[in-house]
Structure 1
Amino acid sequence: MDDLPALPDHEALDCRLPERQTVPVVVASPHSGSFYPPEFLDQAAVPLAALRRAEDAFVDDLFSAAPALGMPFLAARFPRSYVDANREPYELDPGMFEGPLPRPLNHRTTRVAAGLGMIPRVAASGEAIYRGRVPSETIERRLETCWRPYHTALSLLVERTYSTFGGALLVDAHSMPSSASNLGGRDRDGRVDIVLGDNHGESCAPELVTCAEAWLRARGLRVHRNQPYAGGFTTQCYGRPSLARHALQIEINRALYMDETRHERLPTIGVFTKLITGFLEEIGSQAASLLLPQQLAAE
């Protein structure tokens, strides 16, 4: 563990470390950032309110107890509409840019087709974010100032956790608009409160996912797996269960804790934050019991 480099202290990141890490869990929030650079707002063809609808607003508040529970916590300060840290670095729409592109881009994905690449083309409303084409040098500048610092820090947190405990679980924390959570089917009124994403069984041990689902359902929450969110770049990159590295995405219905129109916390946010704290305690305990036998077997 001592051979790993120090965590970067970067203005684009909010990294909160526990006094001592006691469980093999890292919590991350890539989409709760709300600092909008003035030059970005000058380029935007939509108002700030439209850009903010893409935020996972207040998710960093919901999971704020992580360090007190012995878990490192990482959040992006930059907003999702500026740089989406849950995308591949060059997952981009080449038609957005003016000038020579830095390398072949991964533009043949459903996310890029929807305008939601690493530098998004559209706001949550579907409107174009930019008035015109974006200078191509913007790609590397935003990678260097936002995307790479975030993933450098996240990789280090995961590797430090693995070095200490012999395994690691990354909880990738998100929120979803209430309109996206109205899925129909077996749940009351068709509404879903929580979606757990494990990349369709590829990124996390099934025992951990089952534990998370059972705990949440026991508290009266309506839970789906992988529909409509199975996980993005983070679960695909960091989830390697065969190597004792697990990643679980959690999407929370925003209507449970915020007024989506006014972009304000509801009085219920305190109660729901306590529930998320309990969830982290449970998943931390379960991760420790799952990973410790793997560590002992390797010694």
Structure 2
Amino acid sequence: MNKRGRVGCRCRSAAQLSGCSVNLRVRHAPVTNILAGANTCCQKLYRIEEPAPGKSVPVVASMPHSGTFVPPSIANAFTPLHRTWLRNTDWYLPLVYDFLPELGVTTIAATHSRYVTDLNRDPEGLLFGSFHEAVIFNSMFDGTPIYQELPEAPALRQRLVDYHSPYHEELSNIIGRLLTLHERVLLLDLHSFFGPIEDDVCVGDLRGVSCRQETTNLAINAFARQRFRTVCNEPFSGGYLITETLRTLRRRRYRSSCATRRICTAVA
């Protein structure tokens, strides 16, 4: 992995919500020879790293595409290529950002691959289809098939229950706990990428929707000072995880008396 990266930062300013989120993406080199079906079973759907007691700050970092584990029952249906290479994985992000808890940041990282279910896609949208649209892919962005044996619809729907919903529920719980202690929470939605741009960092703020402009500028300027080539919202402006977090917090606001709280979100 080289130093070139993409960072997507999205922060939404909503009058009745509290919190703020930033999504960081890091450019990486191609990685091969990764077994889709791990030899040791990974039971946990995510890993949470918390700061030391008394050191917590109102910042949460989410890594929804960092997982590499595919249950054997799913991996066995993959083509030989995809049993040995999980393309478009956000490689090594938990290692890249393992310093965050020392700074007071709570992190949550997926352990299961986005080939199982993509946590950054809408589960109420297309269930099974192309890489660009579906919550579960049947092919990659270039049309390369993933499965040699297509899964049945009931099994696909069960994946959403088993793998997709728990991650979002836990992320929502983490943010909710911090909002009981702080007026705002910053959500970092962290990703990596290999193409389609040559820039180092992409900061996404849903094109000015997900956070204050000052927050976006803060991220852009910080990377610029380190001489990273940084772009904003092109080609990554944000995804499902951030928009769903906003909707969840709005629903909580209507069910609570915290009508004066606000949220900012950042996505890539």
TM-score normalised to structure 2 length: 0.73
Gaps of 5+ in 2: 1-42, 251-259
Distance 1:229 1:49 in 2: 28
1:90 paired residue among 124, 129, 137: 124
Structure 1 pair 41–154 and aligned structure 2 pair: CA distance change class (3 A): same
Structure 1 pair 79–113 and aligned structure 2 pair: CA distance change class (3 A): closer
| Identity level (%) | 26
* Matched AA of 1:13: Y
Deviation at 1:86, TM superposition (A): 0.5
Contact 1:53 1:124 (8 Å CA) reproduced? no
* Matched AA of 2:154: E
* Matched AA of 2:49: R
User: Which residue does the alignment assign to 2:172?
Assistant: 155
Deviation at 1:31, TM superposition (A): 0.1
Contact 2:67 2:111 (8 Å CA) reproduced? yes
Structure with bigger gyration radius: 1
Deviation at 1:243, TM superposition (A): 5.0
User: Which residue does the alignment assign to 2:223?
Assistant: 216
* Matched AA of 1:19: A
* Matched AA of 1:126: G
Deviation at 1:22, TM superposition (A): 3.0
Gaps of 5+ in 1: 1-9, 97-111, 182-190, 251-299
User: Which residue does the alignment assign to 2:189?
Assistant: 172
Query: If each structure's helix is expressed as a fraction of its own residues, which one has the higher value?
Result: 1
1:248 aligned counterpart, secondary structure:
coil
1:160 aligned counterpart, secondary structure:
helix
Deviation at 1:125, TM superposition (A): 4.7
Does structure 1 residue 47 correspond to structure 2 residue 81? yes
User: Which residue does the alignment assign to 1:244?
Assistant: 262
Count of matched residue positions in the alignment of Structure 1 and Structure 2: 214
Question: What is the Cα-based RMSD across aligned positions, in Å?
Answer: 2.2
Contact 2:237 2:267 (8 Å CA) reproduced? yes
Structure 1 pair 162–238 and aligned structure 2 pair: CA distance change class (3 A): same
Distance 1:246 1:75 in 2: 20
User: Which residue does the alignment assign to 1:18?
Assistant: 51
Alpha-carbon displacement from aligned partner over 1:101-144 (angstroms, at most 9, x marks no partner):
xxxxxxxxxxx665541111213553111224321112332112
Distance 1:224 1:51 in 2: 29
Structure 1 pair 38–70 and aligned structure 2 pair: CA distance change class (3 A): same
Deviation at 1:151, TM superposition (A): 0.4
* Matched AA of 1:232: G
1:175 aligned counterpart, secondary structure:
strand
Contact 2:66 2:94 (8 Å CA) reproduced? yes
* Matched AA of 2:196: A
Higher relative contact order (CA 8 A, sep 6+): 2
* Aligned structure 1 segments of 4 or more residues deviating by more than 3 angstroms: 48-51, 112-116, 239-243
* Matched AA of 1:180: P
TM-score normalised to structure 1 length: 0.66
